[in-house]
Amino acid sequence: MKKRTIALLSAAIMTFSMAACGGNTGATTTTTSSSSSSSSSSSSAASSSSSSSSASTDTGAGSADTGAAAASGELIRVGIINNDPNESGYRTANVKDLQDMFKPENGYDAQFAYSLKNDEQIQAAQGFITDEVDYLLLSAADTAGWDGVLKDAQAAGIKVILFDRTIDADPSLYEASIVSDMAKEGETAVNWLAGQGLDEYNVIHIQGVMGSAAQQGRSGALDAKAAAEANWNIVEQQTAEWNAEKAQQIVQSVIDSKTPFNVIYAENDDMAKGAVAALDAAGISHGVGKDVIVMGFDCNKWALEELLAQNWNYDGQCNPFQASYIDQIIKTLESGATIDEKTIIMDEKGFDAETITQQDVDDYGI
Amino acid sequence: MEENRILEMRGIEKSFPGVRALRGVDFSLNKGEIHALMGENGAGKSTLIKVLTGVYSKDKGKISMPDKDDIQINSPQDAQNAGISTVYQEITLCPNLTVAENMYIGRGKGVITNWKKMNEDANKILRSLDIPATATQQLASCSIAVQQMVAIARAVDMDCKVLILDEPTSSLDEQEVEKLFGLMRDLKSRGVGIIFVTHFLDQVYEVCDRITVLRDGTLVGEYAIADLPRVELVAKMLGKEMDDLSDIKGEIAGYQGDIVDDVVFEAEGLQSDAGIKPFDFYIKKGEVNGFTGLLGSGRSECVRAIFGADRVLAGKVKMHGKEVKIAKPLDAMKCGIAYLPEDRKLDGIVGDLSVRDNIILALQVLTGFFKPFSKAKAQAFAEEYIKKLNIKTASADTPIKSLSGGNQQKVILARWLLMHPEYLILDEPTRGIDVGTKVDIQKLVLELAGEGMSVTFISSETDEMLRTCSRLVVMRDRKTVGELSGEDLSQNKIMETIAGGEG
Amino acid sequence: MKFDIKKLLSNQLVIPFAAIIILCLVNLGYDIVKDASFFSIEVVTNNSGNSVFSGPLITILDYGSELAILAIGMTLVTAASGGQDISVGATIAIAGSAMLRVLCGGNTRPEVLATPIIVGFLVACIVGMLCGAFNGMLVAIFRIQPMIATLILFTAGRSIAAWINNNELPIVPDPKFAYFGSFIPGVPIPTTVFIAAACIITAALLLKFTNLGLYTQAVGINESSSRLNGINPTAIKFISFIILGLCVAVAALIKVSRLSTINYSVIAKDIEMDAILAVALGGNALSGGKFNLWASILGAYIIQFLTTTLYRFKVDSAALPAYKAIVVILLVVFSSPVVRQKMQQFSSSRAAAKKEVA
């Protein structure tokens, strides 16, 4: 009895979250038109993923179909290879999203394998190929070394879909690749900042681990803008390696040196939090309409709440919710249609403290 | 080179920083003989062996074998190639490999191993030497004696002409020793020359043909077994000629005061994990007694067992007739027992600490963890004993390691005297210190006894013991073999008792 | 009054004090060139409305506290066992995680604290001491090399920390909890300074009113001799790890309080290396034995001094480890027997030359 209740409950939650997902993708265009602040980036996102947004409407219908499929017992078998869920909050959300999607209730029979090591991932992939799954979903730990195993998959008639991370392999070896565009995340954020219309931008730029895709993408846009505009100065550029404590010390050192600044551009939420702790200790006001603009990335739930409280100004999304995209691609392939665009870039939003709502926090917080 | 000689070493010299370990030592070995290499610890036995096996390179001297004059042995590999093999006290084989693998490991000429042939060969040798093991058996499943034999078999199969057995019997029981001797005799009949290093006199007389005695890095002599009675062997090892020793007592008057007939400490069937046989022992108030015997005979182990320094396995211990439990040094200290250990550097001094901290250490520990002495009190203690024992140090703050050996020893002595023990054990308190300090310490022992302290005194120098002790417990092969007092307290009698049996 | 160079050079505190003087001079030079003021302390009003001190020196005192606290335990462990605990950062994550678990009652975003802060802290202390006991057991009883023994928690610790909270990142709602890592209303000095002072005073009392110092040094210098003098070396080593575990718990309180939350993979990252460096900077032998606790604590603040100075000079923070490496190299070279001998020869030859002139 109890088990059954839980099953029902989880199914209910699942459909709710699915509806939310579908709703989000569909809603993107509408938010875009209403919020001028994130217009430039979001509209481009909307145009690039116009197919997906139109497809999103039939996700709801699709779920009904898959429900029927589940009843008839023809489950689609997928093998999912991902990184360790403990890696980060982003990954935890990503794993949960996939687990919620690829369930028998949705017509899937899924197996999961988690590892931060490429060789273990490849081993898992070979296991899935031997098991003759229908689809192989892959977020690779390393970009290299996947050719052989993907050829094996192709020979066995298994379709491969990459998510979250791309790999160095011939595009003919996979059906689609669903990724975030880190450079665009940076651009969206910088454009938003430019839209604030300050007379002078004195930015403390706190970087992530140097060389990581997220750092390179998010730094690139700011570097370019600072080089191009005369009134944009980067007063401090340091890596805090995603570490809040280091960020706190870096900002503290700028405060101690009495260098004026009015923007904190931290490449993730943790570092923004550390920076804010330093501001608080020194009595420097921050947030909407205050002395210092605080910007973060990743859309942690607690970070979005800071936005809602107007303590921070901006938070850029790094979308971990790829499951609905993958679902659509599988549906399309199953229906016999082909995918036009191999690389699918996910919708990623930037949230402004002035326009964010509790609904956004609930929907996008990870 | 003489006929029948298989090895000759001439004028071997070897020095280490500060020590001349070997000074012009000669040694020769014949075909088909078992040759005992004897001497106290530190006499140079192991250095000589290590020079021969290439572990050390000699400073001077010549090593010859029949086929080659003046061969150079600069590594164990060279020694092996020359046909010299060694079996050490600790087994140096791999217990998790098979017997055959152990016999052939590291000897393959090529990369490829023919396992079948290897096992067959191994079995052949094992059978011919009558060793109760099979080639494919895991070595760990054999008894220690058999493992020892496998090590010998490995050496023999390597075409060895000279086999060195370094204390091979110390971990074997009597039956196993017999088996090993059987194997040794067998090898001897095949013409192998065996160098046998042991501290068991009985075994030497049972199996050996000739004896070479070393003392302080010099050659004392080479003797046929029949020409050297046990007593003389002991005398040679100790460096005392029998006749010179008879009348030494009396230079310093021994303790003549009243010995109160009160047994302070008493042990019954005491045994520790250091390998000594159970022994009984007692000491009275104001008495000075001692353990004597060759180095390695178990005399230090006995007093360590009394103090709880080694793990006590069995036995009853009484203080003033009341049974007490001494499981660790602190228990002994609480009973009023103090112990100055044999190895000053390793067990005595706490090198980097100051003279003051070294002096107060034992009393401080006895006083308790939560009751540290004030700095002034500690300083007062230290100064009192620096003066009392005439310790030469720049100040009480000087690290003990920068003091001379004799003064370090005085500091350790001060540490224990500060505790005001009822029973003081001194294990080799005079080793490696200057003559003046030696006399000081001997005098002090007698004075302390005069004040009613019981003292057990151990020294390698028998005359020291004769001067101070009124009763001696004699040890041989890790068990007590006699007790001497009164008239019997003489150099000759001690040696006779140490040698045991005929003599 | 006579100035004895030889005696001065042999003093353990000479290295840390020399380092402080050099750092002060470097900062002074920077001030003159850049017209900045390193040594000024101002009063500002922070965002909670308190008047507090602010300035580089306050920053050093504030951020150096965790390290100073850890240096206490690390010094004892080093002295007793002749090795170092490299699991400190990971055990801070574990103790911090346990504290959050108790404070938030397993809830990620609680409205109110599930238990009083003191209970959370006590739980952290227990967990820290358990981790210390685990390491201590491996080192003291099983006689595993300390670095190898602590490698276990070093590797597994952060995963354990994540597991304690189900991989969630709870946030403490009570603003009072943040006091430990920032300021108490009405007090202008960072709370961490008081916490560090309390730990240092406790350590001082412990050394004064017990024989911990004597026993630890004796065990570290000569274990066999200590045993024959009635000391239990196993217990002493074990206790040193337990004390380090307590230090870890206190450091965890500060670290977690600074942000009212935790990040398992980065909290107190690499702090073990800084703690070991602090011990070395204090002139203590990493092979154990004699120690000077005050020198280690000074060493901890010097490391923070160095970090703050480098940030001030806008040195790339990714390059910080390289600068610390230079410090380590200098330390190792200056404490090597060869250089020491040369320095002594130099000073004695100079003394001789002076005499001749006279």
Tell whether the model's pLDDT for residue A54 goes beyond 90. Answer: no
CB-based contact (8 Å) between A310 and chain C?
no
Residue C338 included in any domain? no
Which has the higher per-residue pLDDT, A235 or A68? A235
Q: What is the CATH number that goes with domain B5-228?
A: 3.40.50.300
CB-based contact (8 Å) between C215 and chain B?
yes
Strands (DSSP E) along B111-230, which ranges? 162-166, 193-197, 210-215, 218-224
- Distant-in-sequence contacts of B498-501, Cβ < 8 A, 24+ apart: B498/B234, B498/B292, B498/B293, B498/B294, B498/B297, B498/B474, B499/B201, B499/B229, B499/B230, B499/B231, B499/B233, B499/B234, B500/B201, B500/B202, B500/B230, B500/B476, B501/B202, B501/B230
- Out of C211, C217, C224, whose CB is closest to B364? C211
Query: How far B45 CA sits from the closest chain C CA (Å)?
Result: 27
Q: Using the beta-carbon criterion (under 8 Å), do C46 and A302 form an inter-chain contact?
A: no
In the structure, what pLDDT confidence band is assigned to residue A2 with cuts at 50, 70 and 90? very low
CB pairs under 8 A between A and C: 101
Q: What angle do CA B322, B326, B330 make, to 5 degrees?
A: 120
In the structure, what pLDDT confidence band is assigned to residue A67 with cuts at 50, 70 and 90? very low
- Out of C109, C263, C307, whose CB is closest to A244? C263
Q: What is the pLDDT of residue B317?
A: 94
* Mutation to test the B interface, candidates C11, C216, C219, C225, most B Cβ within 10 Å: C225
Q: Using the beta-carbon criterion (under 8 Å), do B347 and C290 form an inter-chain contact?
A: no
Q: What is the pLDDT of residue B200?
A: 76
In the structure, what pLDDT confidence band is assigned to residue A25 with cuts at 50, 70 and 90? very low
Residues of each domain in chain B carrying CATH 3.40.50.300? 5-228, 248-336+423-503
CB-based contact (8 Å) between C261 and chain A?
yes
* CA nearest to B305 within chain C: C228
- Residues C277-308: pLDDT tens digits? 999 988 888 889 999 999 999 999 999 999 99
Tell whether the model's pLDDT for residue B105 goes beyond 80. Answer: no
Q: What is the pLDDT of residue A30?
A: 33
Place of tokens 């067959």: B120
User: What total of structural domains would you count in chain C?
Assistant: 1
B201, B233 contact by CB (below 8 A): yes
Residue type, A343: T
CB-based contact (8 Å) between C12 and chain B?
no
Query: How far C216 CA sits from the closest chain B CA (Å)?
Result: 11
Q: Rounded mean pLDDT of B42-49?
A: 84
Closest CA to A289 of A196, A188, A206, A186: A196
- Residues B354-374: pLDDT tens digits? 999 999 999 999 999 999 999
Residue C252 included in any domain? yes
Query: How far C198 CA sits from the closest chain A CA (Å)?
Result: 22
CA dist C20 and C305 (Å) reads: 8
Q: Using the beta-carbon criterion (under 8 Å), do C230 and B346 form an inter-chain contact?
A: no
Tell whether the model's pLDDT for residue A56 goes beyond 50. Answer: no
- Out of C169, C181, C317, whose CB is closest to A89? C169
- Residues C169-215: pLDDT tens digits? 888 988 899 999 989 999 999 999 999 999 999 999 999 999 999 99
User: For all residues of chain A together, what is the average pLDDT?
Assistant: 80
In the structure, what pLDDT confidence band is assigned to residue B470 with cuts at 50, 70 and 90? confident
CA dist B118 and B134 (Å) reads: 12
Q: Using the beta-carbon criterion (under 8 Å), do C228 and B347 form an inter-chain contact?
A: yes
DSSP A36-62: STTHHHHHHHHHHTHHHHHHHHHHHHH
CB proximity list for C243: less than 8 A, separation 6 or greater: C72, C73, C76, C132
Query: How far A225 CA sits from the closest chain C CA (Å)?
Result: 21
Q: Using the beta-carbon criterion (under 8 Å), do C211 and B341 form an inter-chain contact?
A: no
In the structure, what pLDDT confidence band is assigned to residue A41 with cuts at 50, 70 and 90? very low
Residue C275 included in any domain? yes
CB-based contact (8 Å) between C214 and chain B?
yes
Q: Using the beta-carbon criterion (under 8 Å), do A239 and C312 form an inter-chain contact?
A: no
In the structure, what pLDDT confidence band is assigned to residue A76 with cuts at 50, 70 and 90? very high
CB-based contact (8 Å) between A284 and chain C?
yes
How many of the other CB atoms lie within 10 Å of CB of C45? Answer: 12
We report the CATH number of the domain holding residue C308 as: 1.10.3470
Residue C182 sits at φ, ψ, to 5 deg, of: -135, -110
Which has the higher per-residue pLDDT, A338 or A133? A133
Q: Using the beta-carbon criterion (under 8 Å), do B353 and C221 form an inter-chain contact?
A: yes
Using a CB-CB distance cutoff of 8 angstroms, which residues of chain B are in contact with residue C283? Answer: none
Residue C322 included in any domain? no
Using a 10 angstrom Cβ sphere, with 0-12 exposed, 13-18 middle and 19 or more buried, the burial of residue B332 is buried
Per 3-state DSSP, what percentage of chain A is helix, strand, and coil (rounded to 5)? 55, 15, 30
Q: Using the beta-carbon criterion (under 8 Å), do C221 and B361 form an inter-chain contact?
A: no
SS3 C275: helix
Residue C201 included in any domain? yes
Q: Using the beta-carbon criterion (under 8 Å), do A282 and C54 form an inter-chain contact?
A: yes
* Mutation to test the B interface, candidates C229, C231, C236, C290, most B Cβ within 10 Å: C229
Residue B43 sits at φ, ψ, to 5 deg, of: -80, -20
Q: What is the pLDDT of residue B1?
A: 63
Using a CB-CB distance cutoff of 8 angstroms, which residues of chain C are in contact with residue B372? Answer: 208-211, 214
Which has the higher per-residue pLDDT, B4 or A260? A260
User: For all residues of chain C together, what is the average pLDDT?
Assistant: 89
CA dist C247 and C70 (Å) reads: 5
Residue C111 included in any domain? yes
CA dist B8 and B69 (Å) reads: 9
Q: Using the beta-carbon criterion (under 8 Å), do B352 and C217 form an inter-chain contact?
A: yes
ipTM of the complex: 0.87
Tell whether the model's pLDDT for residue B150 goes beyond 60. Answer: yes
Q: Using the beta-carbon criterion (under 8 Å), do C221 and B346 form an inter-chain contact?
A: no
* CA nearest to B304 within chain C: C228
Q: Which listed CATH number (3.40.50.300, 3.90.1140.10, 3.40.50.2020, 3.30.720.210) goes with B248-336+423-503? A: 3.40.50.300
Residue C148 included in any domain? yes
Query: How far A37 CA sits from the closest chain C CA (Å)?
Result: 28
Angle between helices C56-63 and A244-256 (to 10 degrees): 160
Using a CB-CB distance cutoff of 8 angstroms, which residues of chain C are in contact with residue B415? Answer: 229
Q: What angle do CA C282, C285, C291 make, to 5 degrees?
A: 65
Using a CB-CB distance cutoff of 8 angstroms, which residues of chain A are in contact with residue C316? Answer: 238-239
Tell whether the model's pLDDT for residue A28 goes beyond 60. Answer: no
Domain hosting residue C305, numbered range: 40-315
Q: Which chains touch A (3 or more CB pairs under 8 A)?
A: C
Q: What is the pLDDT of residue C269?
A: 86
Q: What angle do CA C301, C307, C308 make, to 5 degrees?
A: 90
Residue type, A265: Y
